[in-house]
Structure 1
Amino acid sequence: MSERFLVTGGSRLEGVVGVGGAKNSVLKLMAAALLAEGTTVVTNCPDILDVPLMADVLRGLGCEVELTDSSVAITTPAEPKYHADFAAVRQFRASVCVLGPLVARCRQAVVALPGGDAIGSRPLDMHQSGLQLLGADSTIEHGCVVARAEDLNGANIRLAFPSVGATENILMAAVLAKGETVIDNAAREPEIVDLCNMLVRMGAHIDGAGTSTLTIEGVERLQPTTHRVIGDRIVAATWGIAASMTRGDVRVEGVNPKHLGLVLDKLRAAGAEVTPEPNGFRVLQRERPQAVNFATLPFPGFPTDLQPMAIGLAAVADGTSMITENVFEARFRFVEEMIRLGADARTDGHHAVVRGIPRLSSAPVWSSDIRAGAGLVLAGLCAEGVTEVHDVYHIDRGYPRFVENLQGLGGQIERVGTAS
């Protein structure tokens, strides 16, 4: 059986919605448990499909993993296995984050090239070159990333682009390398800071978290710890943008609003009243949103993960918006599905020009990735009639209790099964 969502347009979202742990953090924190023998506990885990998938990857590496409500306990053996199973790894991109920890603990790793969302090329060149500078040989063999090292030694590493994944893998290898490692042009995302904070709790020596330069002084061993995942800023922003699109009034709880500074500024520019709160924020949109331009960039810029929602907002805004995608070249595939819903949009290279219309129209549409699926649901809330959103398993990978949360805010959405 495959499933789809039936979304009936016309509802104004109103109420309070809670946000769980960040998808873009929890999987990396789970991988970091490989760095220390014993039991590491990660709390505030989101109820998404990728968490049990990562648990399967870790079990394949010899760990015992227990999932309980919103926590995961990972018991890592003294000698983990170093070959990550193809069947588990190929299902999601974040599985590649076991590469750095395995090289650090085992001095070797064989990790199948990962799968994940269809949003464009995401090569592993920077991951490999960073590990090579630390002393590991790294090649691609028979569909796997293979890395081997006699020893790991600190190095000065400058990333060509502030890649989140490369920063994470190099960081997790460097914490057990001999001497000092400096990563320049490192990613600055809150999820990187979250990983650094957990590693420090495990005994790592890291300076510069949240800046473009990370300095790591390697240690001989780390200890297991307990760590709480930060709130998911992408999920939180999705609900905020949904409030603006539906002229609603939504309070989002469970996230640090400082992690969404530019996003909230864009909602203010669209005419929303945005109020930061100690554990979240409130978005109140009284009138039709105004057109706003967006350009995706690494943090603290506008997140590429919110580009589909930005296009959805532009599609119903008053005026013409330009959205520029600077991170993933294939993310504009989403625009084709928006056009099915009546959006007045065209793309030219890494730009999309969207002329807002008062109301979209319903149609069958297909999710190509997690965020595109969520963006299509938000667009369906602003369309006449019932919109069918297919391939919703993508959405389940990134949004806990998506249907229930939308229904709780007054959205008309239903999950139905169809014979595949």
Structure 2
Amino acid sequence: MTKYIIRGGNPLHGEVSVSGAKNAAVAIIPAALLVEGVCRIENIPQISDVTLILNILQELGADIRVVNRNTMDVDCSRIRNSRAPYELMRKIRASYYLIGSLLGRFGSAEVAMPGGCDFGVRPIDQHIKGFVAMGASVEVRNGFIHARTENGRLIGAHTYLDVVSVGATINIMLAATRARGMTIIENAAKEPHVVDVANFLNSMGADIMGAGTDVIKIRGVETMRGGTYSIIPDQIEAGTYIAAAAAAGGELLIRNIIPKHLECITAKFQEMGVEVEEQDDALRVCRSGPLQRVNIKTMPYPGFPTDMQPQMAAVLCLADGTSVITEGVWDNRYRYVDEFKRMGARIQVDGKVAVVEGTGKLTGAPIQACDLRAGAAMVIAGLAAQGVTEIDHVYHIERGYEDIVGKLTGCGADIRVVVTPDDEDKQAQVG
């Protein structure tokens, strides 16, 4: 069992470099299935979700070669199997991107229902709507999504998404890349990682227009060559370090970022009284005075991202006054609240609304991460808390943050990893 032990109260000073975007990487790597050549993918984050996706591709028959720590050559030319391994697939939300990729490449796919963080149902009805519009038959049985076409190739179609969905936008785009004719996605998601996936595909020979707007047009191509592509920096990782500096105090230089992607996040921190200075590919974040209350509603990009909601809640526990958070994307993203209450937080939840009464302080306590972003929020809370915080279930955090302990330690945080035998190990030792 692995825990993070944090002794709070140390302001952060120094520099931290942001890794490649998790949400882009877990879509771009499956997208390599559409390419009959070698894809050199750079700036890949070293996180467990990426390891899982790479393992799935290898199980399918991909040839993967490590170039360096963050660069890999992925060759899916010899893959002939469209059934993905169940045990690996069920551990990760982004498993559904394999449906679009396999369907686009082979005209058929068998993929396990998505796993990952559990904060509400993950409907894939909009994904299926797009696949069906392109001529696929789709059914869900025995924990698998079975999709196939009669003629072995999808046909371009017009799809309107009933709700703005990042997953559906990317998945339909993947499937349409090698379909016959033109596919149009209306009410498409505009997140930076949607644009990044489109840019990756285009660099490999796809013909995609409009990514980053609410209408994306994909003209299907017969084949796609190989090439080299670098994944964008992680918007949410950068936002998490902004939140850490806001909560713990001090001054932090956050490097390897795209400032435009962070405007929806930095605006709220500036409203709270945090100094944010934008540079070419970096931000200087400084918090020396008290934090002010703010109200937040999470929305699709360019609104405030749902993946920053728990981290912001941690900071608002330390602010002066009462703040209101409205969750506009997921149904059940407040499961972390009970853990925060162990640290002295005053938060009341009613449906999708949380009222946070800032107390100006938190107290260290044993807590456990219940999902990826909630786990990051608990690290932030621990950095600012008085005393010692022990965070359990940190595998959630390591799904999406590369070396978070090392990066924070390098900025003056007192955080360490402790590995202890779990209960089964203890029983085996006694026996």
TM-score of the superposed pair, with normalisation by structure 2: 0.96
- The superposition leaves residues 334-389 of structure 1 with CA deviations (integer Å, 9 ceiling, x where unpaired) of 11111111001110110000011121111111101111111001101121110110
Q: Which residue number corresponds to residue 73 of structure 1?
A: 73
- The residue that corresponds to 2:389 in the other structure is 387
Residue in 1 aligned with 2:222?
Answer: 220
Residues in 2 aligned to 1:186 and 1:101: alpha-carbon distance in whole angstroms? 18
Does structure 1 conserve the Cα–Cα contact (< 8 Å) formed by 2:60 and 2:79? no
Q: In 1, distance between residues paired with 2:80 and 2:330?
A: 34
What is the match of residue 273 of structure 1? 275
The 3-state SS of whatever aligns with 1:7 is strand
| CA displacement at 1:77 relative to structure 2 | 2.4
Q: 1:29 is matched by which residue type in structure 2?
A: I
Partner Cα separation in structure 1 for residue 251 and residue 219 of structure 2: 47
The RMSD of aligned alpha carbons is 1.0
Q: CA 1:414–1:79 in 2, change beyond 3 Å: closer, same or farther?
A: closer
2:261 corresponds to which residue?
259
| Contact 2:245/2:252 (<8 A) preserved | yes
Deviation at 1:59, TM superposition (A): 1.0
Aligned-pair distance for 1:24? 0.5
DSSP-derived class of the 2:354 partner: strand
Partner of 2:427: none
Asked whether the 8 Å contact 1:4–1:389 carries over to 2, the reply is: yes
TM-score between both structures, scaled by the size of structure 1? 0.98
Q: SS at 1:46's partner residue?
A: coil
Instruction: State how far apart, in whole Å, the 2-side matches of 1:89 and 1:35 are.
Output: 19
Give deviations 1:151-189, integer Å, cap 9, x for gaps: 311111000111111111100111111111110011100
- Code of the aligned partner of 2:28: L
Q: Which amino acid aligns with 2:36?
A: E
Question: Is the 2:364–2:389 contact (alpha carbons within 8 Å) kept by the matching residues of 1?
Answer: yes
Separation of aligned partners in 2, 1:157 and 1:29 = 22
Q: Distance in 1 between matches of 2:382 and 2:244?
A: 11
Whether the 8 Å CA contact 1:362–1:387 is kept in 2: the answer is yes
> How far off its partner does 1:33 sit?
0.6
- Following superposition of structure 1 onto structure 2, how do residues 2-41 of structure 1 map, counting pairs within 5 Å? 2-41=1-40
Give CA-to-partner distance per residue, 1:96-133, whole Å, 9 cap, x none. 11110100111000001121011111111111111000
Secondary structure at the counterpart of residue 333 of structure 1: coil
Q: Does 1:82 align with 2:82?
A: yes
The aligned amino acid for 1:22 is A
5+ residue gaps, structure 1, are none
8 Å contact kept, 2:32–2:74: yes
SS of 1:123's equivalent in the other structure is coil
Q: SS where residue 111 of structure 2 aligns?
A: strand
Q: Distance in 2 between matches of 1:255 and 1:228?
A: 13
Contact 2:35 2:226 in 1 (8 A): yes
Checking the alignment, whether the CA contact within 8 Å between 1:319 and 1:356 is kept in structure 2 is yes
Paired with 2:91 and 2:8, the residues of 1 have a C-alpha distance of 32
SS of the equivalent of 2:45 reads coil
Shift of 1:78: 4.3
For residues 39 and 47 of structure 1, the distance between their equivalents in structure 2, rounded to whole angstroms, comes to 20
**Residues of 1 paired with 2:136 and 2:227: CA distance?**
27
1:248 aligned partner = 250
Letter in 2 for 1:384: Q
- Conservation of the 8 A alpha-carbon contact between 1:17 and 1:253: yes
The answer as to 2:95 corresponding to 1:95 is: yes
- Distance apart, 1:79 and its partner CA: 4.5
Q: Which amino acid aligns with 1:106?
A: F
CA contact (8 A) 1:250 1:282 kept: yes
Distance of 1:177 and 1:164 partners within structure 2: 20
Deviations 1:282-318 (A, max 9, x none): 1111102111111111111111111111100110001
The alpha carbon displacement at 1:218 in A equals 1.1
Structure 2: runs of 5+ lacking an equivalent: 423-431
User: Given that residues 247 and 288 in structure 1 are in contact (C-alpha distance below 8 angstroms), is that contact kept between their aligned partners in structure 2?
Assistant: no
Q: Which residue of 2 aligns with 1:400?
A: 402
Q: Is the 8 A contact 1:79 1:106 kept in 2?
A: no
